[in-house]
Amino acid sequence: MKSLVKNLLLAAAATTMLVTSSIAEEAKRGGTLVAALGTNVRNLNPAVQSGIVTGFPGTQLFAAPLRYDDDWTPQPYLAESWNISDDGLKVTLNLVKNAKFHDGKPITSEDVAFSVDVIKANHPFKAMFAPVESVDTPDAHTAVLNLSKPHPALMLAMSSQLMAIIPKHVYGDGQDAKTHPRNTADVVGSGPFKLVEYKSGEHVIMERFDDYFIEGRPYLDKMVLKIIPDPAARTIAYENGEVQFGAFEVVPQNINRLKKASGLTVTPQGYGAIGPIDWLAINTTKGPLKDKRVRQAIAHSIDKNFVHKAIMRGTAANAATGIHPDSPFHTADVPEYELDLDKANALLDEAGFAKDGDGNRFDLTIDFGWKDVKPQVEYVKAALKKVGINVTVRASADFPTWAKRMGTMDFDMSWDTVFNWGDPVIGVHRTYLTSNIAKGVWSNTQGYSNARVDELLEMAGKETDPEKRKALYTEFQQIVADELPIYFMNTLPYHTVYSDKVGNPPLGIWATSSPMDKTYLK
C-alpha cells in the first residue's frame, strides 16, 4: 500500500515536472506587455489601500509571504516554508534568504513585523489580522505571528495584495503610512517589477526587477498599464491590438463582442478569491419585509433566468449563496427559489398581506448605487407588480448618496455587489453578523440577526480543520438561503481578456491581484 502511494506520488511529481518543463520551454524572456486598467489608480501601496485597482500594480511592486494558483492551496512565495503550531496560535514564516527590496536592501523579518503593524493600523479589513497580537523576529529570516485564537483566514490574508511586505527603512520614517508620499512616487517594493513612472489618469509603467528573488523571473522586461476608463474605448483598444491584456471587464455587451474578436481570449476564470456577487439586499427590519415568507415570495416572483440570460446576456454564473461558487467553502446544496407566482401569492396571503380591491398588497422601494444595475431594479419592479407589490425605484445621485442610505438602513430593498476577498472571514462574515448591523456601507445593512448564524461564523472563523470548517459554512449558507435577508443573483461577470501573444496570463484565484512573474510574450 505504502509503495503504491509512493509510486503514485512519483508519477504525479514526474507529470508535474513534465508540465512545468513544457511551460518553461515556451516561456521566454523579454518584451513589453501593454495592459488596460479601467479605473485610475490612487495609491500603489496595497498595505494601506485595498481594492482591485491597486491590486494589479500593487502585487507587481510588492510581494507577499504566500501566493496561490488556481486551486486554493497556498504556495511559497516570500516565505519559502511556514509552520502552524498544533494549537493554531503560532504561525512561523521562514523567509527566502536572498530576497531584496528594489533599493537593494535585504527583506528581513523586521519588515514583515513592520508590514503587519502598518496593515493592522491602516487596512480597511480589520478582520484579516485582528487576532495577530504580536510578531516575533527571532532572526532576520524568521517571523513568528502570535495569535489570540486560531485564525485559518490568515493563509489567504498572507497572499496577494492583502499582505504586501513593505520596507521599514522607507515607510517607517514616522510619516503617516496612509498618506506617505512614497505610496505614489519612488515606490520601493519587494515584487517582480519596479516602478518606472506613475502618472495619475494616464499610466503606470513598471520594469523588470533584476534582483527578484525567484531566479530567471519575471519574464517580461516591462509592463505598461494604460488607464482607459471608457469601456467602449477599451474594447476597441483590445480589438486593434493597442493593449494585449486586461482584467475585470464587466459590461456584458463588450464581453460578448470581444469573444467574437479574432486573436483574443476572453475568460471568466480567475476571480474566485476576489469573489464578487450581485444580490438583492432586503432590509429585514422594515414592515412586511420582517416576515420571512414575504422575502421568500419576492424570491419566487423573480425569474433569475431572465436576469442571467437577458440582462447579463449569459456572461455571469448563478450565485446561490454569499460565498463565491469557486470557493472551496461554497455549497450548492441550498434551497433555490424557482419562478412560481402562485406560490408567491400564497406565501403573501399566508403572511397576512391580502390583495386590496385594486390587486395591490403593499408598497416598497428599491435602491441602486450605480447605473449598470438599473435594468435589474427595473426588472424587479415589474416582476413584483405581478404579485401585487408596488415597487418604487429610487435612484441615487452618486455612490456616497447610496452608501449613506445603505449604511443607515434607510431602504427597503437594494441591488448590491459585495466581494468575498479571499477567506469568508474577510469578506463574507461582515454581511451577516449581528454585531455588524448598520456599520456603514457593506456591513450587515440588512439588519439580519440569527443567533445560530453568529455562532456558526464564530466557530468557522477559528476552526482549523478544513472539513469541519466547510460543514459549518454549509449550514450557515443553508440558513441564509432559507431566511433570505439577501436573494443571491449571480457572480459579477468579471472577465480577463488577453491576446494570443500573451502566455501564462494570471488566471489563478486572485486574477491580476497576483504577481505576473510567470507571464510572458510569445
Contacting residues toward another protein, per CB under 8 A:
32, 34, 39-40, 42-43, 49-54, 122-127, 176, 178-179, 183-184, 197, 199-203, 205, 222, 224, 226-230, 232-234, 236-237, 239-240, 242, 397-405, 407, 418-419, 421, 427, 430, 439-443
User: What is d(CA 129, CA 50) in angstroms, rounded to the nearest whole number?
Assistant: 14
**Residue closer to another protein (CB basis): 331 or 519:** 519
Beta-sheet pairing, 264-267 with 413-419: unpaired
* 167 grid coordinates: 520596507
User: Is the Cβ of residue 42 or residue 309 nearer to another protein in the bound state?
Assistant: 42
Task: Compare residues 126 and 522 and give the one whose CB is closer to another protein.
Answer: 126
Chain center to CA of 428: 10
Which is closer to another protein, CB of 122 or CB of 265?
A: 122
Q: Minimal distance in Å, beta carbon 446 to another protein?
A: 15
Q: Where are the alpha helices (DSSP H) in 268-397?
A: 292-301, 304-306, 341-350, 374-385
CB of 444 to another protein, least distance (A): 11
Q: Which is nearer to another protein, 244 or 321 (CB)?
A: 244
Please report, for residues 61, 114, 159, 191, the alpha-carbon distance to residue 208 in angstroms, rounded to integers and kept in the order given: 10, 26, 21, 9
Distances 193 to 4, 155, 224, 313, 502 between C-alpha atoms, Å: 43, 24, 11, 37, 17
Q: How far is the CB of 482 from another protein (least distance, A)?
A: 25
- Which pairing describes strands 245-249 and 32-37: parallel, antiparallel, or unpaired? parallel
CA-to-CA dists, residue 318 to 143, 427, 461, 490, 492, angstroms: 41, 19, 26, 4, 10
Q: Which is nearer to another protein, 179 or 305 (CB)?
A: 179
Quick check: 332 and 320 in contact, CB under 8 A?
Answer: yes
Q: How far apart are CA 436 and CA 418, in angstroms?
A: 15
The C-alpha cell that represents 15 in the structure block? 507529470
CB of 353 to another protein, least distance (A): 31
Distances (CA, A) of 447 to 27, 234, 323, 361, 487: 52, 39, 19, 23, 14
In whole angstroms, how close is the CB of 424 to another protein at the nearest point? 14
Q: Which is nearer to another protein, 302 or 418 (CB)?
A: 418
Instruction: Dig out the grid coordinates for 302 from the structure.
Output: 423573480
Residue 202 CB, nearest approach to another protein (Å): 4
Beta strand 66-68 with 74-76 is antiparallel
Alpha-carbon Rg for the chain, nearest whole angstrom, is: 24
Q: CB of residue 462 vs another protein: minimum separation in angstroms? A: 19
Task: Tell me how far, at minimum, the Cβ of 340 lies from another protein, in Å.
Answer: 34
Q: How far is the CB of 230 from another protein (least distance, A)?
A: 5
Enclosing H/E stretch for 11: helix 2-26
Q: Which is nearer to another protein, 33 or 384 (CB)?
A: 33
* Ramachandran class of 459: left when φ > 0, alpha when ψ lies in -120 to 50, beta otherwise: alpha
Angle at 458 between CA 455 and CA 463, to 5 degrees: 120
Cell 484579516, residue?
128
In whole angstroms, how close is the CB of 386 to another protein at the nearest point?
Answer: 33
Closer CB to another protein, 105 or 226, in the complex = 226
Closer to another protein by Cβ: residue 301 or 490:
490
